[in-house]
Amino acid sequence: MSEDKSRFVVSADWVEKQLGAPEFKIVDAAWYLPAQKRNGAAEYAAGHIPGAVFFDQDAIADHSSGLPHTLPSPEFFATEVGKLGISDTDTIVVYDGPGIFTAPRVWWMFRIMGAEKVYVLDGGLDGWKAAGRPLETDLPEPKPATFRTRFNRDRVASFEAMREIVATGSRQIADARSAGRFAATEPEPREGMRSGHMPGARSLPSGSFSASGHFKSLSELRQTIADAGVDLSKPVVTSCGSGITAAIITLALESLDHKDNKLYDGSWSEWGGRSDTPVETGPAGPGKV
């Protein structure tokens, strides 16, 4: 692997060589917004990487939160991924359709739940298919496994924590939504929700970290983050629309050895969906740090 590439992102060549190896697990984590007109479960059934299991981000979630695909309890997570045949000691590769879109969220989930050998497939399933690599349509029947959780609660920011962060500026806020949603020049995809951003937030659109589904080099990631006004020597909390693409920024931060970062799981679905939270509009600028 190149020294200028993330240690958490693996190539299709490497993955194809590992297929069928013991304790090597492939996870399809594709999820889409309605506007994308794609269905992750349907695409999985139509053809997936051999041996891959489907991780439903809406099902393996906390359904009591009132928010979309909230992080589940460690106990529920362990039960569900155990049914998928995944152990915390396995080598786990997560992929999505386009590449570097929704897979980082599940990569993050596995890591904060205690798995250590977790990676994201560069190029996604779209790239895998374009290269003519093998696919299967058979639905696997994995042997149940035991996933022993070691939940790192410190990596998750609650709504109460975000109120304090916004009030005190104790952490930099990195927002993965589009620049238009951040600035309130385009609407949120969820009906009735305000556009704009949390006071003090910086705009780091999730698409700026990859090109054609491939994660950018470490030097490019570092420049992207610096250009947005985020200081890698200081604490960061990542956010997005519903907690999924925020993990792309988290992946970039971790790839650059940034350790003091959290992900705001409720993200804009929670903050923007309330009437008692402060919201700013317009692009982030020197006067809005």
* Cα(7)–Cα(9) distance, integer angstroms: 6
CB 188 within 8 A of CB 241: yes
CB 281 within 8 A of CB 264: no
What six digits make up the tokens of 27?
Answer: 């996870």
The SS3 of residue 175 is: strand
Query: Is CATH 3.40.50.300 the classification given to domain 154-288?
Result: no
Helices 246-255, 103-112: crossing angle, 10 deg rounding: 60
> Taking the domains of the chain in order of start, what are their residue ranges?
9-150, 154-288
| pLDDT for res 33 | 84
What six digits make up the tokens of 256?
Answer: 């650059």
240 is catalytic: yes
DSSP state of 50: T
Cα separations (Å) of 27 from 78, 89, 129? 15, 15, 16
Quote the pTM value: 0.96
What six digits make up the tokens of 112?
Answer: 């904060």
| pLDDT for res 277 | 97
| pLDDT for res 287 | 37
CB 98 within 8 A of CB 213: yes
* Cα(61)–Cα(69) distance, integer angstroms: 5
157 — phi, psi (to 5°)?
-100, 130
Same topology, domains 9-150 and 154-288? Answer is yes
| pLDDT for res 1 | 54
What six digits make up the tokens of 56?
Answer: 């439903």
Q: What is the mean pLDDT of each run of 10 residues along the chain (289 residues)?
A: 88 97 97 90 96 97 93 98 98 97 98 98 98 96 97 98 98 97 93 92 98 98 98 98 97 98 97 95 62
CB 94 within 8 A of CB 118: yes
Q: Which residues contact 13 (CB under 8 A, 6 or more apart)?
A: none
The SS3 of residue 282 is: coil
CB 136 within 8 A of CB 164: no
What CATH class has 9-150?
A: alpha beta
* Cα(222)–Cα(259) distance, integer angstroms: 14
CB 215 within 8 A of CB 9: yes
* Cα(121)–Cα(19) distance, integer angstroms: 13
CB 8 within 8 A of CB 119: yes
Provide the H-helix boundaries in 30-177.
Answer: 40-46, 74-83, 103-112, 124-130, 159-168
| pLDDT for res 2 | 66
* Cα(279)–Cα(102) distance, integer angstroms: 26
| pLDDT for res 248 | 98
Catalytic option among 240, 247, 248, 252:
240
Q: What is the 3-state secondary structure (H, E, C) of 85-119?
A: CCCCCCEEEEECCCCCCCHHHHHHHHHHCCCCCEE
* Cα(107)–Cα(223) distance, integer angstroms: 23
